[in-house]
Amino acid sequence: MGTVYNDPVGDPAKYADLPAADAILVTHHHGDHFNLDTLTALMGDETVLITNPTVYDKLPADMQAQATALANGETGQLLGMPIEAIPAYNTTEDRTKYHPKGRDNGYVLIADGLRIYIAGDTEGTDEMRALTDIDVAFVPMNLPFTMDEDAAADAVAAFAPKVVYPYHYKNSDVFAFADALTGDTQIKMAKWYV
């Protein structure tokens, strides 16, 4: 498949020992998801970039030439496999200022035969809950920007991926998420904050 990064930010030196990116996904323009300096360092001549339209508009022309903008619901190609932009947004009234509906993306992509869902910054939307046949899901939980542990567990139970990785959960209690999650989904923990 190749190496795909999602929302790479931070010091490019942190990526020095990791494989070069064949593709980079960016879900939205917030600084903890989109950093032009990081992208510039990680983009090779052949690296493909997929973003939402807001991020695409912020790219320099040379990077736009390697980029594809996908709006909510649109599908494209990622290293020869289909990728779909899933809407990512807040549904709670006093949080919609962070991620208004229609702007930001999550992604469903296929890698090594697995259907992978990267949620982006979102609450448990109808579109998330309606997903089917997801093998691996990456779901956020952090207030006030996305959702709490119980809401994340409720949404994950609704689409029942085979495996879920909590991610982007700083200051949340992933064990509370694990306690609240029902069904057969296996929870995996990754060391995101090292």
Q: How many residues bind Zn ion (CB under 5 A)?
A: 2
Tokens of 188: 């995996």
* 115 touches Zn ion (CB under 5 A): no
CB-nearer residue toward Zn ion: 30 or 115: 30
The CA distance from 64 to 58, in Å, is 9
Helical spans, DSSP H, in the chain: 36-42, 53-58, 61-64, 126-129, 149-159, 174-180
CB of 154 to Zn ion, least distance (A): 21
Among 7, 84, 121, 123, binds Zn ion (CB under 5 A): 121
CB-nearer residue toward Zn ion: 140 or 161: 140
CB of 185 to Zn ion, least distance (A): 24
* 168 touches Zn ion (CB under 5 A): no
Decide: 139 and 188 in contact? Cβ < 8 Å.
no
CB of 31 to Zn ion, least distance (A): 9
Tokens of 108: 């469903």
| Site pattern 23..42 for Zn ion (x: CB under 5 A) | -------x------------
The CA distance from 170 to 184, in Å, is 25
CB of 126 to Zn ion, least distance (A): 19
The CA distance from 44 to 160, in Å, is 36
- Residues that bind Zn ion in the complex, under the rule CB under 5 A: 30, 121
